[in-house]
């Protein structure tokens, strides 16, 4: 197996990238680009992403992980990131990996990474398959949830509405705000807020996997409704749920082996279909 | 959908109670009684309820009284689902 860590030239600066692939890269079963989640969720998910990338590479897939602008070891501060810049980074990663191998392309999104993967896929000139981990379906709702981290204390006191409005005004005036140690720019907030997980236009398959703490894991009612719509519109899509911890938000770093197995199965079954 | 079981499962997971939540009765006090339930955990709890049940919680609908006991939390979710 081949493991390469390198910097991909980008604008501005460079992006940290990690490629894990079978030795014969040209014979890879598929080319997978990971799109990581948002802020602290990215840190919490890092271990699972690494385990999954390793497992995929061992199974014959070429996997490229990149840190988006202002995240991880890439250039820039989080406060410089914009939604558009992140979309450009995803396209850059796809273009680079497709130069290395002609294998079918998968975008593997996690949480808000699914929103980015879906938008990037819609912009591409060729079909791309999508693997979603616990997708965020509404950027607007996710932003609201993220902003709430800053006003947690007011929330319990029933004073959060005023505090939320003050933050939104600050963003509207073009000022950044700091939430849970991350500086959020108006451009990032705006792009995130407008993003929604809409029916993909150009995608091959969509494999949508959710994690539930219940032993009899079932898709959330919210996901089931959206999947039914997409199926009715003719999209090839499959939803499944696995049991395990919500590792992207648990207070301690946790693992979800059932998700690793389900993701590998999703890739190989999609290939056979 | 069994709302009570779902809410108990979310509480257990978000607060890392390792199964303790399954022993909660309706009048088990939550906020102020369970040390794991701090303000950040309240935020995580709302997020999970929203995502799991497909709800949208407005910020003026929430205050400490929603998290007073298991019963008040379940009532809040029932009310949102019926709305």
Q: Quick: pLDDT tens for A219-231.
A: 988 899 899 999 9
Q: How many angstroms separate the CA of residue B63 from the nearest CA in chain A?
A: 4
Tokens matching residue B28 = 């088990």
Q: Are residues A190 and A208 in the same domain?
A: no
Q: Are residues A120 and A106 in the same domain?
A: yes
Instruction: State the helix-helix crossing angle for A112-123 and A139-148, rounded to 10 degrees.
Output: 150
Give the model's pLDDT for residue B1: 66
CB contact under 8 A, B54 and A222: yes
Residue-level pLDDT at A9: 97
**CB contact, 8 Å: A1 with chain B?**
no
pLDDT value of residue A61: 97
> In 3D, which of A264, A270, A258 has the Cα closest to residue A203?
A270
Q: What's the burial of A252, exposed, middle or buried (CB within 10 Å: 0-12/13-18/19+)?
A: exposed
- Give which of B19, B31, B54 to mutate to test A binding, by max A Cβ within 10 Å: B54
Asked if residue A179 and residue A244 are part of one domain, the reply reads no
A117 and A97: one domain?
yes
Count the domains in chain B.
1
pLDDT in tens, chain B (83 residues): 689 998 998 898 888 888 899 999 999 999 999 998 988 889 989 998 998 888 889 888 888 899 999 999 999 999 999 98
User: Residues A120, A153: one domain?
Assistant: no
User: Which of these, A16, A37, A41, A36, lies nearest to A180 by C-alpha position?
Assistant: A41
**Whether A90 and A223 share a structural domain:** yes
Is the distance from CB of A192 to CB of A142 less than 8 angstroms? yes
Domain range enclosing A174? 143-195
In this prediction, residue A217 carries a pLDDT of: 87
Taking the Cβ of residue A156 and every Cβ of chain B, the question of whether any pair is shorter than 8 Å is answered with: yes
Terminal-to-terminal C-alpha distance of chain A: 27
Instruction: Verify that A177 and A206 share a domain, yes or no.
Output: no
Same structural domain, A100 and A154: no
**By residue range, what is the domain housing residue B65?**
3-82
Looking at the structure, tell me whether residues A177 and A251 fall in a common domain: no
- Indicate the pairing of strand A128-133 with strand A177-179: unpaired
In this structure, the answer to whether residues A93 and A168 fall within a common structural domain is no
Rounded CA separation A46/A253 (Å): 9
pLDDT for residue A272: 56
CB A202 within 8 Å of CB A236? no
Q: Which pLDDT belongs to residue A253?
A: 85
pLDDT tens series, chain A, 273 aa: 889 999 999 989 999 999 999 988 888 999 999 999 999 999 999 999 999 999 999 999 999 999 999 999 999 999 999 999 999 999 999 999 999 999 999 999 999 999 999 999 999 878 899 999 999 999 999 999 999 988 887 888 888 888 899 999 999 999 999 998 999 999 999 999 999 999 887 668 999 999 987 788 889 888 998 999 999 999 999 999 999 988 998 777 889 999 999 999 999 987 655
Please tell me the distance from the alpha carbon of residue B68 to that of residue A20, in angstroms, as a whole number.
49
C-alpha radius of gyration, chain A, whole number: 18
Its ipTM equals 0.82
> CB atoms < 10 A from the CB of A152, how many?
19
When divided into structural domains, chain A yields a total of 2
From residue A181, give the alpha-carbon distance in Å to each of A112, A147, A177: 18, 12, 10
Predicted local confidence at residue A202, as pLDDT: 65
Beta strands, E only, chain A: 2-9, 14-21, 31-35, 62-66, 105-110, 128-133, 177-179, 182-184, 203-212, 236-243
Which tens digits make up the pLDDT trace of A104-125? 999 999 999 999 999 999 998 7
The pair of three-digit structure tokens given for residue A238, joined into one six-digit string: 């499959």
User: What is the domain-level CATH number for residue A103?
Assistant: 3.40.50.1820
Contact in structure between B80 and B70 (CB atoms under 8 Å): no
User: From chain B, which residues contact A within 8 Å (Cβ)?
Assistant: 1, 9-10, 12-14, 16, 31, 39-40, 42-44, 46-48, 50-54, 56, 58-60, 62-65, 67
Nearest-CB residue to A152 (from B10, B42, B63)? B42
Do A165 and A221 reside in the same domain of the chain? Answer: no
CATH number, domain of B77, equals: 1.10.1200.10
Q: What pLDDT, on a 0 to 100 scale, did the predictor assign at position B60?
A: 83
Q: What per-residue confidence (pLDDT) applies to A204?
A: 86
Q: Are residues A175 and A65 in the same domain?
A: no
């Amino acid at each position: 197996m081949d493991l390469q860590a390198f910097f991909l030239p980008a604008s501005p600066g460079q992006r940290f990238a990690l490629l894990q692939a079978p030795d014969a890269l040209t014979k890879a079963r598929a080319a997978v680009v990971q799109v990581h989640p948002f802020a602290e969720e990215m840190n919490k998910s890092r271990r699972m992403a690494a385990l999954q990338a390793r497992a995929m590479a061992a199974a014959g897939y070429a996997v490229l992980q990149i840190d988006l602008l202002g995240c991880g070891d890439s250039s820039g501060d989080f406060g410089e990131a914009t939604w558009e810049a992140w979309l450009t980074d995803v396209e850059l990663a796809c273009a680079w990996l497709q130069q290395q191998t002609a294998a079918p392309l998968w975008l593997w999104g996690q949480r808000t990474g699914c929103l980015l993967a879906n938008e990037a896929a819609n912009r591409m000139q060729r079909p791309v398959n999508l693997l979603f981990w616990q997708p965020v379906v509404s950027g607007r709702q996710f932003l609201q949830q993220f902003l709430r981290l800053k006003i947690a204390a007011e929330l319990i006191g029933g004073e959060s509405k005023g505090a939320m409005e003050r933050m939104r005004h600050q963003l509207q005036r073009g000022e950044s705000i700091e939430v849970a140690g991350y500086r959020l720019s108006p451009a990032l907030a705006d792009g995130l807020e407008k993003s929604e997980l809409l029916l993909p236009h150009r995608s091959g398959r969509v494999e949508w996997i959710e994690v539930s703490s219940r032993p009899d894991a079932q898709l959330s009612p919210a996901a089931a409704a959206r999947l039914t719509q997409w199926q009715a519109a003719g999209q090839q899509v499959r939803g499944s749920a696995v049991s395990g911890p919500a590792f992207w938000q648990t207070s301690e770093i946790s693992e979800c082996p059932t998700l690793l197995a389900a993701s590998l199965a999703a890739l190989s079954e999609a290939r056979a279909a | 959908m069994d709302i009570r079981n779902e809410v108990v499962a979310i509480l257990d997971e978000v607060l890392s109670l390792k199964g303790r939540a399954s022993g909660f009765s309706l009048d088990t006090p939550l906020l102020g009684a369970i040390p794991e339930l701090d303000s950040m955990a309240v935020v995580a709890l709302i997020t999970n309820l929203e995502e799991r049940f497909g709800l949208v919680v407005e910020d003026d609908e929430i205050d400490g009284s929603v998290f007073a006991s298991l019963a008040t939390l379940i009532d809040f979710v029932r009310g949102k689902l019926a709305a």
